[in-house]
Chain A
Amino acid sequence: MSEPITALAGAASETGIARIMELSLQGMITLRGDLASSAVQKAATGAAEVEMPGTNQANCVEDRGICWMSPDELLILCPYDMVAANIDKMTETLGNAHALAVNVSDARAAFRITGTQAREVLAKLCPVDLSLENFAPGMFRRTRMAQVPAAFWMTDAESFQLVCFRSQARYVFDLLSIAAQPGSGVNAYLT
């Protein structure tokens, strides 16, 4: 078995107005089904060991969490080596429910953007209102980042976690690093 590695081998950009780093391998499971059904909810909370998030919310603790992707889709985060076991557990919990749980860990890349100007870096790239009052920790947003789809949420007041397709990891990393290049601050969101 070949050793799993991330798309950019942990690339990081430290010199800009926000720190960009590729995260180590993150387990991700797509769960599709009727989110109102108790089997789907139990499968999600059982694997991630956190509460169900509301619409457009993410409920994440360290490397575990549930993100609300759409009215019939959740993204379950868990440790990378727990994915297979979790999917087995979820499939069992789902039983006959019309639902799908699939491992997408290796189809995605994950980044962290940290710093007082992290909001600005993302605001330059996404058509999202990232002002302090409109985007806060706990919220989750799928959107367009320049030319590719991406999803992000805040882990604390100055950090974003972002996921994108793995094949676009280099593009996304370059986008973020360029948007964060030294001296490029707009200071739109500083309090």
Chain B
Amino acid sequence: MLTLTCPVCGVTAEETEFHGGGEAHLKRFGPGATDDDLEGYLFMRENPRGVHFERWRHAYGCGKWFHAARCTTTLQVFGTYPAQTFEPPKEICDKISEARPGWSWRAFK
């Protein structure tokens, strides 16, 4: 079972108290973007076996969105961090490097 800690209210609960919000750190391409950028934004998603970054919402608790870094095969959670950021914080990347040396995910490694 996936156990997450909400960085907003600090509550640790299993995944049914949360709601998954898909891939994290997407950059929006809207009007004026090229077709390729728009297609990538709309349809192209990572589907990794291993390290993954996701958005989650503490739906039954404080109701706030946050980010989570986790492993899709072991359900190990490397950490959760606030939604108001464009990239994972360094301490979380360090923690992932420790557990999964040589990992990469989109532009992050």
Contact = CB atoms under 8 A, between A and B. Distances in A.
Interface in B1-44: 8-11, 13-14, 16-17
Nearest to A145: B60
A144 B17 contact: yes
Determine chain A's interface SS by DSSP, over half rule.
strand
Interface residues of B, number: 13
B64 A55 contact: no
Interface residues of A, number: 13
Contacts of B17: 127, 143-144
Interface in A143-157: 143-144, 149
Interface in B66-109: none
A5 to B, nearest CB: 28
Contact of B60 (A71, A73, A142): A142
Determine chain B's interface SS by DSSP, over half rule.
loop
A32 to B, nearest CB: 11
Nearest to A141: B11
Contacts of B64: 70-71
Interface string A115-126: 000000000000
A60 B101 CA distance: 50
Given A127-B14, A127-B16, A127-B17, A143 B61 contact: yes
Given A70-B8, A71-B8, A127 B13 contact: yes
Interface of A: 55-56, 69-71, 73, 127-128, 141-144, 149
B61 A142 contact: yes
A141 B58 CA distance: 12
A98 B12 CA distance: 30
Given A71-B64, A142-B62, A149-B60, A56 B9 contact: yes
Contacts of A71: 8-9, 62, 64
Given A56-B11, A70-B64, A143-B60, 16 more contacts: A55-B10, A56-B10, A70-B8, A70-B9, A70-B62, A70-B63, A71-B8, A71-B9, A71-B64, A73-B63, A127-B13, A141-B11, A142-B60, A142-B61, A143-B61, A144-B17
Nearest to B11: A56
11 contacts: A55-B9, A56-B10, A56-B11, A70-B62, A71-B9, A71-B62, A127-B14, A127-B17, A142-B62, A144-B16, A144-B17
